[in-house]
Amino acid sequence: MDQRRRWLADRVTRGLGFSRVVVVTGPRQSGKTTLVRKMVEPEGTFRRLDDEATLQAARNDPISFANYGPTPRAIDEIQLGGDSLVRAVKTVVDDNPAKGQFILDGSADFLTVPGLSESLAGRASFYELLPFSQGEIEGSRDEFVRRAFTDPDSLRDSATSPVTRNDYLDRIVRGGFPEAYVLPSEDRADWFDGLVRTVTQRDITALANARRAGEIPRLLRLLAARTASELVISQIHSDSGLGRDTTADYIGFLEMTYMIHKVSAWSTNFTNRARRTPKAYLLDPGLAAHLLGVDVEGLAVPEDQRRGPLTETFVVGEVKKQLAWSGTRAQMFHFRDQHGAEVDLILEHPDGRIVAVEVKAASTTQGRDFKHLAALRDKLGNRFVHGFVLSMHPTPVAFGDRLTGLPISALWTNR
């Protein structure tokens, strides 16, 4: 596993200082085990539940298992231990309220796993470790979200980007999984096949009652073909051949295991015509490209229709990663009304301020790209901090009051 520094590590370390339990979740192979092991060894205790003997010990006597060893105690793949182990952890930390006792990690969203009734509310801090961001790959802290809210004009003054169109396409098809992004294309395809097989045939089957689990890989491919689109269950269940309820359940399982994620529709009081349907994205653009059978050469074809959605998937994924460690605490939405006005990303700060982002796969930025951002600015007034069009054009360009065109690489470069 690649040993690059993870920007989430500082937040997890702080969490150990004020919480009895820290929970780190994220997709398989995102680096959770590596991160957690480094945090507890050599002083603490590290145990993996994907080891059968260790898992049996946890199931046979969860209280003794939870009490064993010096703190901090790390339990890897906690969801495999079931509700009894989580309740045992709760009992231990209720008896002893000391901070930093446990780090639990898992490859499923802790709060949505069927059969886990104990949420550790009031006892735990929760963090998501996603695949590498582009900044983590390059060793440069990604600061777009913070700067967009605190100093957007500094982004206008950024240097011309050296990242070319083909460079962007290569980053998209490689994705951010630590083991996958460094592989040549053929080996990376085998790696992604193994990931899909493990998640759909092992993880989901173990955690949920998926009676037709063999259909889940096909459903994931259908979602890859619709990445960056509104999630309309009726359309997907029609194409999948699964029942409507089964389709919705299986999409929930894919979200639970971090294969996909949703971006909710933004609701606002300035219009009653906003649509309420969330958009769905593959979490990793490299996985999406693999499932679609597309490479850099295919995406470079001018008329290829997959380039736009995959570019948006890439950008939204990078922003999601930044939000996982950023102190900004903004929430991510999309906006679309019944007349087709659309903004790809709305970042809403807890104080109500808004940063809006449009994503374009083009190598140029034009005035019409700012039409919906300008309308949003005019409606929101002072709540609107700034609107950005992120594209493959290399040079930052100001397009009027609080509107700027930026290269996509502004997400992770700070020049």
The DSSP 8-state label assigned to residue 110 in this structure reads T
Q: Is residue 2 part of a domain?
A: no
Same domain, 381 and 284: yes
Output the domain CATH number for residue 34.
3.40.50.300
The DSSP 8-state label assigned to residue 4 in this structure reads -
Q: Is residue 305 part of a domain?
A: yes
Tell me what percent of the residues of the chain surpass a pLDDT of 70: 98
pLDDT tens string 315-340: 999 999 999 998 889 999 999 887 77
pLDDT at residue number 268: 73
Same domain, 111 and 144: no
Q: Alpha-carbon Rg of the chain, whole angstroms?
A: 22
pLDDT at residue number 350: 94
pLDDT at residue number 326: 87
pLDDT-based confidence at residue 273 (cuts at 50, 70, 90)? low
Same domain, 254 and 182: yes
Q: Is residue 1 part of a domain?
A: no
pLDDT at residue number 348: 97
pLDDT-based confidence at residue 2 (cuts at 50, 70, 90)? low
> Mean pLDDT across the stretch 302-319?
97
Output the DSSP codes for 170-235. Answer: HHHHH-S-TTTTTS-HHHHHHHHHHHHHHIIIIIHHHHS--TTGGGHHHHHHHHHHTTTEE--HHH
**Of 107, 66, 110, which Cα lies nearest the Cα of 90?**
66
The first and second tokens of residue 261, run together, are: 């994620």
pLDDT tens string 214-254: 899 999 999 999 999 999 999 999 898 888 998 999 999 99
Same domain, 123 and 192: no
Same domain, 384 and 257: yes
Q: Are 35 and 12 in contact (CB under 8 A)?
A: yes
Same domain, 183 and 47: no
Examine the fold and report which residue of 108, 128, 148 is the final residue of a domain before the chain moves on: 128
Same domain, 154 and 252: yes
Q: Is residue 4 part of a domain?
A: no
Q: Is residue 3 part of a domain?
A: no
Q: Is the pLDDT of residue 343 over 90?
A: yes
Q: Is residue 362 part of a domain?
A: yes
Q: Is the pLDDT of residue 269 over 70?
A: no
pLDDT tens string 169-195: 999 999 999 999 999 999 999 999 999
The first and second tokens of residue 42, run together, are: 């050599």
> Mean pLDDT across the stretch 75-92?
95
pLDDT at residue number 110: 83
pLDDT-based confidence at residue 408 (cuts at 50, 70, 90)? very high
Q: Is the pLDDT of residue 158 over 90?
A: no
Q: Are 20 and 114 in contact (CB under 8 A)?
A: no
pLDDT at residue number 373: 96
Same domain, 237 and 317: yes
pLDDT-based confidence at residue 113 (cuts at 50, 70, 90)? confident
Same domain, 123 and 154: no
> Mean pLDDT across the stretch 50-61?
96
The residue that leads in pLDDT, 205 or 270, is: 205
pLDDT at residue number 162: 94
CA angle 252, 133, 325 (to 5 degrees): 75
pLDDT at residue number 390: 98
Same domain, 121 and 159: no
**Of 176, 196, 179, 199, which Cα lies nearest the Cα of 187?**
179
| Full domain range(s) for residue 156 | 134-411
Q: Is residue 226 part of a domain?
A: yes
Q: Look at the chain and report how many structural domains it folds into.
A: 2
Examine the fold and report which residue of 93, 128, 163 is the final residue of a domain before the chain moves on: 128
User: First CA to last CA across the chain, in angstroms?
Assistant: 29
Using CA atoms, how far apart are residues 316 and 256, in angstroms rounded to an integer? 18
Per DSSP, the three-state class of 155 is: helix
Taking each helix axis as running N to C, give the angle between helix 307-325 and helix 285-292, from 0 to 180 degrees, rounded to the nearest 10. 150
pLDDT at residue number 209: 74
Same domain, 96 and 144: no
Q: Is the pLDDT of residue 414 over 90?
A: no
Q: Is the pLDDT of residue 10 over 60?
A: yes
Q: Is residue 108 part of a domain?
A: yes
Residue with tokens 């971090």: 258
Q: Is the pLDDT of residue 271 over 80?
A: no
Half-sphere exposure of 223 (CA within 13 A, CB side): 29
Same domain, 170 and 233: yes
Q: Is the pLDDT of residue 1 over 60?
A: no
Examine the fold and report which residue of 95, 128, 161 is the final residue of a domain before the chain moves on: 128
Per DSSP, the three-state class of 266 is: coil
- pTM (two decimals): 0.95
